[in-house]
Structure 1
């Protein structure tokens, strides 16, 4: 009889732990949280979110499902922000929604692609920027929408866009989700290209979380192969806890080449969800678990013109350390100010550690260690 070695036992324990944590979470929100409500005591603070999805529609009151649609559906959601909102927390509405305590949808509207682009163009900030959030594995449409609402409420950024691909929203749906990401490349590219055609839009921040980061990189790679420099020139890529094989990522970077805005990666070497992903992928390392204290990683960041930011100091709320980006949202304006121009973004190339304790009073970065610049 063969006994598993110590590393295999450890990874198996991680898998069991993750399943136990996720299975023990509160019940997941149904599509009912997408239905507009009109209570009398609505808070003043509202946010508007544009959405694009290639999930199958389940009908006006049933939201979007887990199957692949043949076209992209566009919508706009207005949501009120509860005065009692706690940073990094999603307060879902109950059977009897209380807008003083919970996020609630107050308006929902179907849009054409042209209407979607026009709405996005009309919402740009002074620098002509829009942000697209691409969720990760094991997310329903409504979960991704409410996460975007939480991030928007905490960050103070205006009118974000969410692209929702057909995740199975299931712990055991990892392989199916990977296939859905590959299926979604053309649709996300269509959305990005449509937005880039608007003259008012000067910069598109593509923010991919987890497996959504893989989708973002695949779309940028595809744009490069199609010589769409008109689109690529407007892109700024931000990947949070990217669930991407290190060698695959290296290949993607090589094919994409240097970007106007250097990519930013938000990572943590103690991300236990990515430890499971690595195990499922044959124990191959994931980009989201890179160690910024490793001199080889530091040198690679410089050579590839990327910014690696370790978020380990930030608190995670999911039990496995995979959603730290949600806690980063309250520092978004400081981070955006640092990278508002290509020159500013280029000056941040290298490896950094996010210092949550000092971020409110000074630069939110401190050097992880001395980095030898060979640029």
Structure 2
């Protein structure tokens, strides 16, 4: 607990060193920079300072805005990182920067934004952030995820009132409770928009509680989750495993496809588990261990274990956005509504960005090194196990044949 708290405190202190006021638009960017246009819906109270835009305090009504973020040229940044300015105004050649902020008057203008920004397949990505996140952090984080993943989706940020303070965990948690109706209504408006084809909802950390509660409410209210909401992704969910089971059971079938990113070395979730009476958090489980494996298969939930993708000195709480392969997997497969199972090969499903199934001893080692993901896929678990066994048999046979007689 002490180690987790010290790590969290270090991150909080680092965040405090960032300049305030990055939401002040710079108006123009630089050649070769990328522009990401976001629709923002928030239950945060507006700030008196327009360079901050929204605070961590609560507001009963949802405010809407169109925000454009500039991301430095590819040769000036590393995939998976938000590059914060060290001073203001930011330098768009090296820093993330706000180019434009346009308040939207209501639902009509928001629908106009959607119609203008929808890709060819008319998919929308709704992102909900987690604990200890200021408004500007939520905006820049989604811009980074959208850019680095290459996701073909109109990006919508739902940002709830987090004070961005390590010592305000309970306040933040209650803010998610206060925002359930607003998120439900936001999802409803998007999913009933005739111009929208499909909706993917992605949540990080404490935002997972908010997403699951809003979907549960929608299912109780309407008898189902609206059919355009086809795909839900929970990254490092700070969610009591028993509460999650109850929420999922109360969502009527047919349910959206649900994918969970877990990591057993997540320091932030370890601290949360201690605060919550040592009850397992969904984002900390080992998906291949019982009883989780069987229960997840019965529930029809895909779980991707990112434990082996740890970075020294990291909280290991945002791997889904910081690891280049994972954030690109999000864009190429999960945000696009595709399962990691089905007809794809083991090399493709278990992180497979390079290795195939048919390779022998070196290839088997390569799969373990290049793709350290354990995936619980209820739609193709038997095939997955069979392929693993086959890989092991091939490796053993090759080793035996190489031994001197």
Asked if these proteins are the same fold (TM beyond 0.5), I'd say yes
How big is the shift at 1:103? 1.4
Structure-2 residue corresponding to 1:108: 101
Indicate whether 1:320 and 2:309 are aligned.
Answer: no
Structure-2 residue corresponding to 1:181: 176
Structure 2, unaligned runs of 5 or more = 358-370, 384-405
Match of 2:127 among 130, 133, 154: 133
Q: Residue deviations 1:231-255, cap 9 Å, x none?
A: 2553421100001101100100110
Q: Residue deviations 1:177-223, cap 9 Å, x none?
A: 11000000011111111111211212111111000000000000000
Q: Residue deviations 1:304-351, cap 9 Å, x none?
A: 0110011223345872110111122233333238734xxx57749xxx
How big is the shift at 1:227? 1.5
**Separation of aligned partners in 2, 1:162 and 1:106:** 17
Structure-2 residue corresponding to 1:63: 53
Please show how residues 11-90 of structure 1 align to structure 2 within 5 Å: 11=1, 13-29=2-18, 31-38=20-27, 41-59=30-48, 60-83=50-73, 84-90=76-82
**Separation of aligned partners in 2, 1:362 and 1:114:** 49
Q: CA RMSD in A?
A: 2.9
Larger Rg: 2
Indicate whether 1:332 and 2:327 are aligned.
Answer: no
**Separation of aligned partners in 2, 1:136 and 1:240:** 10
Contact 1:43 1:80 in 2 (8 A): no
Structure-1 residue corresponding to 2:150: 156
Counterpart secondary structure, 2:256? coil
Structure-2 residue corresponding to 1:243: 238
Counterpart secondary structure, 1:226? helix
Contact 2:149 2:332 in 1 (8 A): no
Match of 1:305 among 300, 304, 325: 300
Structure-1 residue corresponding to 2:266: 271
Q: How high is the TM-score relative to the length of structure 1?
A: 0.86
Contact 1:316 1:322 in 2 (8 A): no
Counterpart secondary structure, 1:237? strand
Q: Which moved more, 1:359-368 or 1:133-142?
A: 359-368
**Separation of aligned partners in 2, 1:339 and 1:277:** 30
**Separation of aligned partners in 2, 1:64 and 1:247:** 34
How many residues matched? 357
Counterpart secondary structure, 1:73? strand
Structure 1, unaligned runs of 5 or more = 1-10
Q: Which moved more, 1:148-157 or 1:313-322?
A: 313-322
Q: How high is the TM-score relative to the length of structure 2?
A: 0.80
Structure-2 residue corresponding to 1:98: 91
How big is the shift at 1:31? 4.9
- Using a 3 Å threshold, how does the CA distance of structure 1 residues 303 and 28 change in structure 2: closer, same or farther? farther
- Using a 3 Å threshold, how does the CA distance of structure 1 residues 40 and 309 change in structure 2: closer, same or farther? closer
Counterpart secondary structure, 2:194? coil
Match of 2:114 among 109, 113, 120: 120
**Separation of aligned partners in 2, 1:53 and 1:274:** 25
Q: Residue deviations 1:133-189, cap 9 Å, x none?
A: 100000011011111111112111254111000012110111111100000001111
Contact 2:128 2:203 in 1 (8 A): yes
